Structure 1
Amino acid sequence: MKLDLNDIIKEPVVSEKSTDLASKQKFVFKVHKFANKPMVKKALESLYDVKVDKCNIINLKGKEIRTKQGGYSYTYGYKKVVVTLKEGQFDFFETNQ
């Protein structure tokens, strides 16, 4: 499947763990479910003018949740990527170091 560079990166993941990783030049993003490591690397390097050192992709599955009526529903799964930038690169989130 051919994806546009703007469609690959969906949104940044902002959590306590991801902000701690930002101080180590690692940033977390939600990505398209068909995206792979070379696609993510190319998209980040062209959109943000940074040099990516490595990408780690995590595929999170949806979970079964219980409803009020006693039935079951499902949350959606998604794919996220932890990107490590080379030293001295742009800081996506402002972190206090």
Structure 2
Amino acid sequence: MANIQYYDVILKPVITEKSMLGMTDKKYTFLVHPDSNKTMIKEAVEKMFDGAKVSKVNTMNQDGKTRRRGMTSGKTAKVKKAIVWLTEDSKDIELFQGL
């Protein structure tokens, strides 16, 4: 496995209606590095966002979708998503405040 630093683990947040509704329960959804595991994701969130304390992490791997362009077909890139649950006494993540 490659040497992955904590700032390489979280790629970007997922902004959907379902993820925005989960923020009221302190659930945040991120796209993460495909080689990362739950402990790496937990450490990355706690280091990148001050005052955030992670209680649990759920991860899911999604295969790429099959797409056609004319007669040729291919697949889009596969992604890994993580749903991060914060504890009750932790601060909210400021990245999502203005949304």
Give the TM-score normalised by the residue count of structure 2. Answer: 0.88
Matches within 5 A, 1:39-50: 39-49=40-50, 50=52
User: 1:14-38 deviations in whole A, cap 9, x for unaligned?
Assistant: 0111001111100000000100000
1:71 equivalent in structure 2: 72
Cα distance in 2 between the residues matched to 1:12 and 1:90: 17
2:97 is matched with 94
Amino acid paired to 2:22: L
User: Residue 54 of structure 1 is aligned with which of 56, 59, 64?
Assistant: 56
For residues 51 and 71 of structure 1, the distance between their equivalents in structure 2, rounded to whole angstroms, comes to 47
Contact 1:22 1:95 in 2 (8 A): no
**Deviation per residue, 1:64-87 (Å, 9 max, x gap):** 1121x2221211111010000001
Kindly, what percent of the aligned residue pairs are identical?
Answer: 36
Q: Decide whether the 8 Å contact of 1:28 with 1:82 is kept in 2.
A: yes
Q: CA RMSD in A?
A: 1.6
SS in structure 2 of the partner of residue 34 of structure 1: coil
Partner-residue secondary structure (3-state), 2:25:
coil
- Unpaired runs of 5+ residues, structure 2, are none
Distance 1:6 1:14 in 2: 20
> Structure 1: which 5+ runs fail to align?
none
